[in-house]
């Protein structure tokens, strides 16, 4: 994910052995590319929804749209997207916990695999995400900051398909 905005980019990554490509800006601004990618590659295409104040942000968080994140998620589901990575920009990199309220609203609005990103600090956040029923979590900063042990996180979430 990040800066992938053409079919050529998508094909290059998938042909190089990447399992899944994440589209963000292209999904919002170039829906025809998303539609073609879904047609060709199906579940190997995920959509990243970066959200600020309830609205989708694109272009590396530099461009705020007027598109509500729930409406956008519903559109993505209708197009056939099976995986959404949701980031609350206000939480990203803060280690202050994920936005469970927004994640719950997403879970209630769409039936896709939801991956939580932004703010995840420790094993309690992983447990909360598992209880919520998310499919996965991106835990970059918490690993670097050593507030989350990756093995423990895997152990806590092991055994079922959530988290």
What is the C-alpha separation between 130 and 128, in angstroms, rounded?
Answer: 5
Handedness of CA 18, 63, 26, 52 (dihedral sign): positive
Burial of 49 (0-12, 13-18, 19+ CB in 10 A): buried
State mean pLDDT over 18-31. Answer: 93
Same domain for 74 and 7: yes
Q: Looking at the 3D structure of the chain, how many domains does it have?
A: 2
Domain that holds residue 5: 1-88
Check residue 102 and give its pLDDT: 97
Distances (CA, A) of 92 to 29, 63, 87, 137: 23, 17, 7, 12
pLDDT at 36 exceeding the cut of 80: yes
Of 163 and 84, the structure prediction assigns the larger pLDDT to 84
Same domain for 59 and 122: no
pLDDT at 160 exceeding the cut of 60: no
Same domain for 155 and 118: yes
For the chain, give the percent of residues with pLDDT over 70: 93
Same domain for 81 and 48: yes
Which tens digits make up the pLDDT trace of 106-145?
Answer: 999 999 999 999 999 999 999 999 999 999 999 989 999 9
Check residue 4 and give its pLDDT: 92
pLDDT at 33 exceeding the cut of 60: yes
Exposure on the CB side of residue 73, measured as CA atoms within 13 A: 28
DSSP state string for 28-90: HH-HHHHHHHHHHHGGGEEEEEEEETTEEEETTTTEEEEEEHHHHHHHHHHHT--EEEEEETT
pLDDT at 16 exceeding the cut of 70: yes
Same domain for 103 and 58: no
Same domain for 106 and 78: no
pLDDT at 2 exceeding the cut of 60: yes
State mean pLDDT over 26-34. Answer: 92
């Amino acid at each position: 994910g990040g800066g992938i905005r053409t079919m050529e980019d998508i094909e290059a990554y998938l042909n190089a052995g990447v399992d899944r490509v994440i589209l963000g800006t292209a999904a919002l601004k170039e829906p025809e590319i998303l539609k073609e990618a879904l047609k060709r590659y199906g579940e190997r295409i995920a959509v990243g929804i970066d959200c600020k104040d309830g609205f989708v942000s694109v272009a590396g968080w530099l461009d705020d749209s007027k598109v509500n994140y729930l409406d956008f998620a519903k559109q993505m589901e209708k197009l056939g997207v099976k995986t959404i990575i949701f980031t609350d920009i206000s939480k990203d990199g803060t280690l202050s916990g994920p936005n469970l309220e927004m994640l719950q609203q997403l879970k209630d609005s769409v039936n896709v695999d939801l991956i939580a990103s932004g703010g995840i600090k420790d094993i309690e956040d992983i447990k909360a995400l598992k209880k919520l029923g998310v499919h996965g979590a991106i835990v970059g900063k918490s690993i670097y900051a050593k507030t989350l042990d990756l093995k423990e996180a895997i152990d806590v979430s092991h055994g079922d398909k959530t988290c």
